[in-house]
Structure 1
């Protein structure tokens, strides 16, 4: 059955990841509601920002939206830790506000390392660090990242610039350098925070915390990817 996952408790500072079934019933809580922590047994969180569930049910969580933790955690279907990467810092596999996470078609995990103004990339099976993109983010770091359904492009949101960027996805192997294909400049103070891409239609849904709304962008069918609201 389809499942929904919630990152935060209804109470302030929830520090939890919650799983619901297709009827909306709560079936699992990870972390201690209302209590931040760094522990692994039991697993504790401090402001988890986002998660991504792959087709096998394995889960990738970025934990540390300004909190104690700056880490990427991979969990199995039964919520066992498979690997963990990260701590506060600027070097490889270190984070400063890991804010969004997604997976590409060739087994790489992409993390929006917002405070360090870069995307970091890891092997999904081993957690090995594969590289980083920072040349596209000299003004501001990425707050959200997703792939288009065909896997050819990444859609990235930059919060304070109120901008969406379309980046060329690298083939398997070396990730090379970041290349911007096109951008969508939103109105001032729209503040795109997180986004999601419809795997069937390619539509992009953007959560805008400045405008307090969700906008939908529909892809125009052309060689160069572009979107219209």
Structure 2
């Protein structure tokens, strides 16, 4: 085991793919992860079994979603354990029961909309107070869209740019217990924070490519940010440029940075943190799109690429 972090924020990690997959199965690439009220872990992936469910110890429980998705990207779980999935290739947000029955679909399959919902949506978050949905419509649009719990459109905000309230790839999104919306503005390398009506509140910078954001919904909960490899040659040998997981308090103060090592697949390193979740014990689950990141850089990948990690919190 390798230990990451410092006092109060120490985690064990073994460097292997997490989760006991059935024989012959692979994730191919885990894009996102979510945890329900029972600490069951839902891994959204681009393999043959898009939704794979484990208990918190990694024991396989179930799978579903075969044939239901074009290009899995983001997953979130609501207060009632309903499962919401963002699919970037069919331009939809879909809501399922925990065992995979389709309940609702927002968007038009295979009909991307310029400036309107959706054009390659990346992620979705659920307001636990109202059930409202917030969609990060980020690869081809530059918007956050808000919907009611039953899928009725309410409002949108955002445009392309670098000013506060503008975006350059709205890649991930989450909501805290007070209704503040946290947006991973990936290529602007920041987290932007809005109220539930889209009013800009503040931003956190000093990040690499902020690809994932996960908010602890408990009172005084922390905010976890997954940062990509920054795509610069210096990052192959330099420290402090990602990839890593950074933990903030609600005021934006950095409490911990997990892994200051260069990108890699060894224990204690990351390559492409793309989605994150925490369980009731504050363990962190990290989905990495290492295959896509190697392809983007035009580099031959190593024979083994990890796609799911669990960072187990050490008490004290």
Distance 2:213 2:81 in 1: 23
Tell me the distance in 2 between the aligned counterparts of 1:152 and 1:22: 25
Structure 2 counterpart of 1:207: 287
Q: Name the count of aligned residue pairs.
A: 202
Q: What is the CA distance between 1:46 and its match in structure 2?
A: 1.2
Give yes or no for the alignment of 1:63 onto 2:137.
yes
Show the 5 A alignment for 1:1-229: 2-8=81-87, 13-38=89-114, 40=116, 44-55=117-128, 56-65=130-139, 67=140, 69-124=141-196, 126-134=197-205, 136-137=206-207, 140-150=208-218, 151-160=220-229, 161-170=242-251, 178-185=252-259, 188=264, 190-198=271-279, 200-210=280-290, 211-222=305-316
The structure whose residues are more often helix, as a share, is 2
2:255 match: secondary structure: strand
Q: How far off its partner does 1:39 sit?
A: 6.0
TM-score of the aligned structures, taking structure 2 as reference length: 0.59
Cα distance between partner residues in 2 of 1:167 and 1:23: 33
Give the CA deviation at 1:91: 1.1
- Map of 1:174 onto structure 2: none
| Rounded Cα–Cα distance in structure 2 between residues aligned with 1:57 and 1:106 | 13
Larger radius of gyration: 2
Structure scoring higher RCO (CA < 8 A, sep ≥ 6) equals 2
Give 5+ residue unaligned stretches, structure 2: 1-79, 230-241, 266-270, 291-304
Cα deviations by residue, 1:7-51 (Å, 9 ceiling, x for unpaired): 117xxx2111111223412232211212211365xxx31111111
How far apart are the structure 1 equivalents of 2:215 and 2:107? 29
Deviation by residue 1:168-221 (Cα, 9 ceiling, x = unmatched): 222xxxxxxx322211116526211111112x2222111011134211112223
Cα deviation for residue 149 of structure 1 reads 4.9
Q: What secondary structure, in the 3-state scheme, does the structure 1 residue paired with 2:187 have? A: coil
Contact persistence 1:149–1:202 (CA under 8 A): no
**Residues 128 and 149 of structure 1: is their aligned pair in 2 closer, same or farther, counting only changes over 3 Å?**
closer
Q: Which runs of 4+ in 1 moved over 4 A?
A: none
Quote the RMSD (CA, aligned, Å): 2.0
Which runs of 5 or more residues in structure 1 are unaligned? 171-177, 223-229
**CA gap 1:212/1:16 in 2 versus in 1, 3 angstroms:** farther
